[in-house]
Chains A and B, each alone.
Chain A
Amino acid sequence: VAKTPDRIFKVILVGDSNVGKSSAIQRFCFNTFSDDRRPTLDITFQMKTIVTAQGVTSLQIWDSAGQERFRSVPRLYFRKADGVMLLYDVTNETSLKNVRSWISNIKESAGNNAVIMLLGNKVDKQRTVTWEEGHAVALQCKAVFLEISAKSGENVPQAFEALTRILKEREEGDMGIPPSTGTPLGETIEVTSNNRTERFDVARL
């Protein structure tokens, strides 16, 4: 039975070509993965409803395939985005280097309100970028950081759920509603990945 969501958040996936934006969406929404390495041609939007203790939330997930070469066209997407998932490829150092330019573009057009989540994808492969390197960039950019694998599905649902929680709790904080359940504002959200527990300061984001 489909429940009516209390809130819809607009979430955008960006990042260099071939970092696995569409695969991450596919994994999260359909729990499938195709290894044929074709660029995205079909997916445009996906809706995914997340049921948590706090209520029902929908994510409207926008893919940005084909826009990696450009700087201005993706900006059409960023306006009014609640969350941005910025992906890089842990087997490709250039994709991490480009993260900074993505961040500056996001901040210029989405404003500082959008929650940015930095995701290192493809941890199932032989990595060339360490966890520490990705984490350092995330800290500088004030982004939430996680490593995921769209192929194995590792951490993919966690990433989306963490983003939803952050968005929801921050919004409740903005409206002055004390969060009845879950993490109180100003404290941390914990996400466990690779046996490491990441703590995110909600107020800081």
Chain B
Amino acid sequence: MDPYPYHTNCIGELFMKHRNDFAAYGQYCANFNNAQKISYKLQEDPAIMELINDWKNRVASKTRKFLHLEGFIISPVQRLCKYPLLLRELKKFTNESHPDRNPVEQAMNMMEDVTASVNETQRRAITMQAIRDVDNLCDSWEQSGCLTKQGFMTKRGGSVKSWNIRWFTLSGYQLCYYNEPADRHPLKILDLTSYVSMQADADHVGRPHAFSIKMPDRSYYMYTTSSQERRDWISILQWKFSCIDRSRKQAHQPFETVIFSSLSSFLHPKSQKLEVKQVNDTIIEEKPTSPKINTENELSPKIRKNRPKSFFRMSFKRRSKISFSSSSNHDT
């Protein structure tokens, strides 16, 4: 007696039953590049390597040896591509009269469609990545300080509301001001990466050609000697802020952060604190009620377009329900 009467097995049916579940592969493959990057990062961590080695020793056999974490994560991709091959073979050896004959053929066609759609998803992901790479290239060019500006502006004091002429330099993401251009030490360095908002037209302070930058500590009011000069400052600052916005957005992409932070915090409880703090910072800065609204018209359309997305991402991370109230805000 054969304990496994395989002639009654209906594999095709089984595939058809789970046809919708195969869609998960599309997302898996689209995320693969990120997952691979993370796997390289994790391999530098001795604690994680120990876990992996332990696991490997248990699952590795003579014919299946892995040395890298990426070997594990590519397996589903390889398997997916083999399903059509497997089913084609199965069809060849399934008798016409077998009850599974039609389902096997259906399953074969279905899996060919699935692999084709995964390929299509992957093609799109590659295109998106190419766009992002160009973006990052611009960013690194930007951070290298190629785009700089300096000049005199008159700045209002913080506690004493008097106006003083200062020498401003903008390089990378640092805006510094000095008493004199020849001074070696700046009076203050503003780290633009923590900016809250910018107001391109602040003539209400009573001076012509004025603008303001809102930082977490206070707002800075400056005015220039001509409207052309102000336009130059505003356009370079807007460019910097749009780069900052983009990197803020990228730093909080759900997949990488959630997976990576949860893994690293699992192993290093200290870093968890840091992660939480960063999340809170973003929430404070990006709250729909923040004074950012009054600069809405001044900022480039690109920034405005991106904002609802970041709200959504943020809510994803917090697993709370704050996101959709903000969409009306966007429409205004």
A76 touching B33 by the CB < 8 A rule? Answer: yes
Q: Are A40 and B85 interface neighbours, CB within 8 A?
A: yes
Output the least CB separation between A63 and chain B (Å).
Answer: 8
CB-defined contacts of A76 to chain B, threshold 8 Å: 29, 32-33, 36, 74, 77, 122
Mark interface residues in A56-87 (1 if CB within 8 Å of B CB, else 0): 00101011111101111101110110000000
CA distance A47 to B88 in the complex (A): 28
Q: Which residues of A contact B33 (CB under 8 A)?
A: 76, 79
B85 contacts A45, CB within 8 Å?
Answer: no
Q: Is A39 an interface residue (CB 8 A)?
A: yes
> Across the interface, do B71 and A45 meet the contact criterion of CB distance under 8 Å?
yes
Q: How many angstroms between the C-alpha atoms of A73 and B125 in the bound complex?
A: 11
Query: C-beta contact mask, B111-155 vs A, less than 8 Å → 1, else 0?
Result: 000011011101100100000000000000000000000000000
Q: Distance in Å from the Cβ of B48 to the closest Cβ of chain A?
A: 18
User: Chain A residues near B29 (CB, 8 Å)?
Assistant: 73, 76
A8 at the interface (CB under 8 A from B): yes
Say what secondary structure dominates the interface of chain B.
helix
Instruction: Tell me the A107-125 residues at the B interface (CB within 8 Å).
Output: 109
Task: Evaluate contact between B67 and A41: CB separation under 8 angstroms.
Answer: no
Number of residue pairs spanning A and B whose beta carbons lie under 8 angstroms apart: 83
CB-contact partner of B82 in A46, A58, A66, A80, under 8 A:
A66
Tell me the complex Cα distance, A80–B68, Å.
Answer: 12
A39 to B89, Cβ gap below 8 A? yes
Interface assignment of B66: CB less than 8 Å from any CB of chain A: yes
Q: Are A73 and B71 in contact (CB under 8 A)?
A: no
Within 8 A of B (CB), among A15-35: none
Give the residue of A8, A45, A64, A72 whose beta carbon is less than 8 angstroms from that of B123: A72
Closest 5 CB pairs of A and B: A66-B81, A72-B122, A72-B123, A70-B119, A39-B85
Other CB < 8 Å A-B pairs besides A62-B74, A66-B82, A76-B32, 15 of them? Answer: A38-B89, A40-B82, A60-B71, A63-B78, A65-B81, A65-B82, A65-B85, A66-B78, A70-B115, A70-B116, A70-B122, A72-B120, A73-B122, A76-B29, A80-B40
- Could you write out 23 A-B pairs with CB less than 8 Å apart? A8-B67, A8-B68, A38-B89, A39-B85, A39-B89, A44-B75, A60-B67, A60-B68, A64-B78, A65-B78, A65-B81, A66-B78, A69-B119, A70-B81, A70-B116, A70-B119, A71-B123, A75-B122, A75-B126, A76-B29, A76-B32, A76-B33, A76-B36
